[in-house]
Each structure stands twice: as structure tokens, then as C-alpha cells.
A and B are shown apart, each in its own frame.
Chain A
Amino acid sequence: MNSGDTAWVLVCAALVMLMTPGLALFYGGMVRSRGVLNMLMMSLGSLGLVGVLWVIYGYSGAFGSDLGGVGLLGSPAEFFGMSRFVGQESLSGSIPTFAFAAFQAMFAILTVALISGAIADRARFGPWMLFAGLWATLVYFPVAHWVFAFDETNAAGEVTAVGGWIANRLAAIDFAGGTAVHINAGAAALALVLVLGPRTGWPKETGKPHNLPLVVLGAGLLWFGWFGFNSGSALTAGTTAAIVFVNTLVGAGAAMLAWMLVERIRHGKPTTLGAVSGIIAGLVAITPACSAVTPMGAIAVGIIAGAVCALAVELKYRLRYDDSLDVIGVHLVGGLVGTLLVGLFASESAPAGVAGLFYGGGFDQLWRQAVGAVAVLVYSLVLSLGIAWVVRSTIGFRLDPADEDTGIDETEHAESGYHFGEARNTVRGPRTTEQGSIEALEGSVR
């Protein structure tokens, strides 16, 4: 065990954890004030639910011994509950297995939370939680196995444990999850949008973002956490992590500039929401590519992603689908751009050590990237459609239209995000004396 690497990965795991509440604020600020809490709650729900499922069988499904040796799924039973790692020094490379599992848990949580941005203001909370659990189980855990589970080899170079097919057989490069996280979540978002339909009154009556400073705060937390997301994926505190860090900085920065430029040309003004959207688009695109490109390559990836995503988010008005907070436009499109650009901008001098088309490598890496991207897209889209359809046909998925009008915070959570003034805020006491009065309750708390 290397304590430096362990410290780095544990810190990165905590950084990535912060991305989910960061995402919650990012999304929360973009909806109307009467739906802000539901937006936060869908991310928080993922944090609790997927974290628990990960420990019970998710880690095993993603990183357990491959079932049948074909690279499609790890054995969910092998490390069930992770108890067998307790009390022994189980290592994953140079770090404890628990450190690796904790780091990867945050990826699963965030990926599920990302999807929620597509269905703002119209999905009931219980069905969302059911969808989240089923989706993590049937889509994320297998795809994480495809992309993140590498073959284990012995000193002689023979494979001792088979990993996922995209990482090993196809050898597509996805350093920190362009396919497994962003294309995956984006395709699921597309499926949910198709199954749920648009918000009542969309696009005319669904309103403006209610709090852009909250959106900027969320984006800042996402970028901060993203350094852990990408650099931590090196799983060792060294040169690769440092290069990835720099690429994560300039990829996002360049994309922000490109998005603002597109807005300036098309709409006359660079906007705050555009700037932070550019940051996220750049982070999405640089995620698969950050170990495969030079910093100049990262800038190119960022510029292309920023410009393409800025144009892509407006497609929903032409194609008439209500992807509320642009999960498709930013994560699916940004993930595709970043994953494919690896095939163009990969440099042999970067840690991944592969040359793309522009660096003399021909089309070899590009087709591998394309096959990986399309495979995850199709798998996620088809399974997500199925899961969403099952949820809709059994317990129902959509909010009642009247409740949509009232506001999802009030009808699903019995809360409101903001209180102004003191009128009508009287505490309603308990109905029976058996439960005691509010005064008695306060007394016992003190």
C-alpha cells in the first residue's frame, strides 16, 4: 500500500462527493423557485440510495470477477456487502480496495443525479427513486464494468482476471467516464424525456432560472470536485494526475470562452448561464480525454465542446423535446464530443500513450472511441426506456398537472425553498394531547 496514493484517492473521493450537492445547486438555481427543493432532492436521493446499493452489490457488479469472461458484468454476489474486505489488507493497485470503492461510488451517485436535470418539475419523487435504483442496477453498474474494470495480469503478462470489454477488448480510451458517466446519463435523460413528455405549458410557461448565483455556486463546486473526478482517476498521486489536472483546468476554461463567443455572435450578449454551461460542457468533454491529450489538445477539445454544446442546447426548441436543464445538450453531446475527439487529438506523449488521427495514428483509435460511445448510448437508451416505461405503467411517473401548477416542492415535499415575511407562519400544533404540545417538545429538545 502506498500512503501517498491512498491519501490522494481518499481526498479525491471526497471532492467527487461534493459534486453531487454542487450539481443539486447547479440544477436547483435553474428551475423556478417553486421547484428548487425537488431539484435538490433528486440529487440528494441519489446520494443516499446509490451509495448504499453500491456497497451492497454495485461495487461487486462493476469490479467483481467477470461473469463468463465476456466483459459484460462482474459477479454481483462476489463482494456482496463488501464485508469480506474488512479486517484484511485488500489492495486495489497501490491503494486499499475500500479507497477505490469509495472513489468509484461517487461516480455512480453523480451519474444517476445528472439524469434528474432532464425531468425538472414533473416527476413524482417516489417513482424517481425507484427509477434511480433500477437504473443504477441495470445500467450504471454493468457499464462501469465495461469501461472501468481493467484486466488483471500477473508478472508474465497473462490475464488473471478478465475486466470489461470496452476497456480491454475494444481498448477505447475513457479516462474518467465520458461514456460511462456522461453519454450514459445523457442517453437516460433522453429516454426519460421521451417517456415523461414535456412540462405542462412548455416552452412558454415554464419560466426562467430563479437564482443564477446559486447556479454559479453549483458550477464552482462541480469544477472543484471535477479535479478529484479526473485527477483522482489516475489512482496514484503522480505525473498523470498532474497533467490531467492541468487539462481539466484549460478544457473547461476554453469551453467557457467558446460558449460565450457563440452567444455573443448569436444573441448579442455573453450570459452568466452560458459561461457556467460552457464550463460544464468543457469538463464533460475533457473527462474521457484528459489523460490522452496535451494541454493544447485539451484547449482544442474545450473549444469544440463549448461551441457544439452551445448550439446543441437550442435544438430542443426545434425538435420539441423538453430536456429541462439540458442534460442531453450538455452531457450526451459533450460526452460524445469528448469521447470522439480522443480519436483525433490523442497524443502519444500523453499518459495514455496513444496517437489519434491528427497525431499520426490514423483512424484506429477513432473507430474504437466511436464503437464505445455508440454501444453505451444504445444500451443506456434502450434499458432506460424500458425501466421508465415499467415505472410509468406500474406506479406512475408524472406529477398530476394540477400539482405541477401548484409547484412540486409543495405537493411532493410539503416545503418551500424561500420564505419572505412572517405572515401565516404559525406552527400548527399536534392534533392529540398524547403527543404533547410544541412547548413540551421544545423543552425535551433543550
Chain B
Amino acid sequence: MKLVTAVVQQAKVDEVRDALTALGIRGMTIADVQGYGRQQGHTEIYRGAEYKVDVVDKTRVEVLVNDADADDVLQAIVSAARSGRVGDGKVWVTPVESVVRVRTGETGEQAV
């Protein structure tokens, strides 16, 4: 099993979700996050006082998948989240040791 984690532009979340739903993915975790990467922050101005904003708002999407689906899911997220501009985000895949579905107690691939 794999955990696919993506940090994407907030405006791209719906497209990512639609792409994953089309692949048959039935659940995901979505969270508003803040951070920064190579992308620079931005400047805000309030009555002439300039504030440098270092961290930017992003959305983190996490999907738990079986090993065979990991590549497809990764590709789907990348193509749905890409705008071609700076700040599109990152996607990474990490191995998962065990999974339990809380309601039934199922484990492993059944629980994904």
C-alpha cells in the first residue's frame, strides 16, 4: 500500500478530486495548509505599510492506494494540478506498513 500526498494550489483541488474519482478512488483527506517552496511569497500593503508574506496557502490532498494504483494516481494528480506556473506544488509517494478500516476491522488491501 502507498500513501500519495500532494500539496497543490487551492484552486486546483476540485480538478484533482474529479481526476481521482474518475480513476475509481473513493476517499481522500483534504486539508488547508501553509508553507513555502521555491516559490517566493508575496507583498501585501495596508495604508502604506508593506507586509512580506513568506508562507502561502495551499491544499494538501492525501490518498491511500494499493501499490498497483500508485503510479496512475500520481500521474492523475500531476496532470490535474498543473497550471505551468510557479507554485503548482509537489506530489510524493510513501510506503504504508498497515491499514485498518475502523468500522469492520478489515486490514491490508481490503481496508484501502
Main secondary structure of the interface of B (DSSP, over half): strand
**Pair A208/B44 contact, Cβ less than 8 Å:** yes
Partner of A277, one of B44, B47, B50, B51: B47
**Pair B44/A274 contact, Cβ less than 8 Å:** no
**Pair B51/A208 contact, Cβ less than 8 Å:** yes
B86 contacts chain A at the CB level, 8 A cutoff: no
Q: Which residues of B contact A269 (CB under 8 A)?
A: 45
Q: Which residues of B contact A266 (CB under 8 A)?
A: 48
State in angstroms the CA–CA spacing of A263 and B48 once bound together: 8
A267 contacts chain B at the CB level, 8 A cutoff: yes
A358 contacts chain B at the CB level, 8 A cutoff: no
Return the CB mask of B32-50 against A: 1 if under 8 Å, else 0. 0000000000001111111
Name which of B45, B46, B47, B49 has the most chain A CB atoms within 10 A of its CB.
B47
**Pair A271/B46 contact, Cβ less than 8 Å:** yes
Count contacts on B: residues with CB < 8 A to the other chain.
8
**Pair B49/A326 contact, Cβ less than 8 Å:** no
Q: Which residues of B contact A314 (CB under 8 A)?
A: 47-49
State in angstroms the CA–CA spacing of A33 and B46 once bound together: 16
Which chain A residues (230-257) contact chain B, with CB distance < 8 Å?
Answer: none
Q: Which residues of A contact B44 (CB under 8 A)?
A: 208
Residue of B nearest to A268 (CB): B45
State in angstroms the CA–CA spacing of A274 and B48 once bound together: 9
A313 contacts chain B at the CB level, 8 A cutoff: yes
State in angstroms the CA–CA spacing of A273 and B7 once bound together: 31
Return the CB mask of A299-321 against B: 1 if under 8 Å, else 0. 00000000000100110010000
Count contacts on A: residues with CB < 8 A to the other chain.
16
Q: Which residues of A contact B51 (CB under 8 A)?
A: 208
**Pair A263/B49 contact, Cβ less than 8 Å:** no
**Pair A267/B46 contact, Cβ less than 8 Å:** no
State in angstroms the CA–CA spacing of A271 and B49 once bound together: 12
Residue of A nearest to B44 (CB): A208
Which chain A residues (259-278) contact chain B, with CB distance < 8 Å?
Answer: 263, 266-267, 269, 271, 273-274, 277
Q: Give, as a whole number of angstroms, the nearest-CB distance from A142 to chain B.
A: 33
Q: Which residues of B contact A317 (CB under 8 A)?
A: 48-49
Q: Which residues of A contact B46 (CB under 8 A)?
A: 208-209, 271, 273
State in angstroms the CA–CA spacing of A269 and B44 once bound together: 10
Residue of B nearest to A330 (CB): B47
State in angstroms the CA–CA spacing of A269 and B51 once bound together: 14
Q: Which residues of A contact B45 (CB under 8 A)?
A: 263, 267, 269, 271
Return the CB mask of A202-213 against B: 1 if under 8 Å, else 0. 010000110000
State in angstroms the CA–CA spacing of A203 and B50 once bound together: 11
Q: Which residues of A contact B50 (CB under 8 A)?
A: 267
The 7 closest A-B pairs by CB, nearest first: A314-B48, A267-B45, A313-B47, A273-B46, A271-B45, A208-B51, A273-B47
Known: A266-B48, A267-B50, A273-B46; 7 extra A-B contacts, CB below 8 A, are A203-B49, A208-B46, A273-B47, A277-B47, A313-B47, A314-B47, A314-B49
Q: Can you list 12 A-B pairs, Cβ within 8 angstroms, ordered by A? A: A208-B51, A266-B48, A269-B45, A271-B45, A271-B47, A273-B46, A274-B47, A310-B48, A313-B47, A313-B48, A314-B47, A317-B48
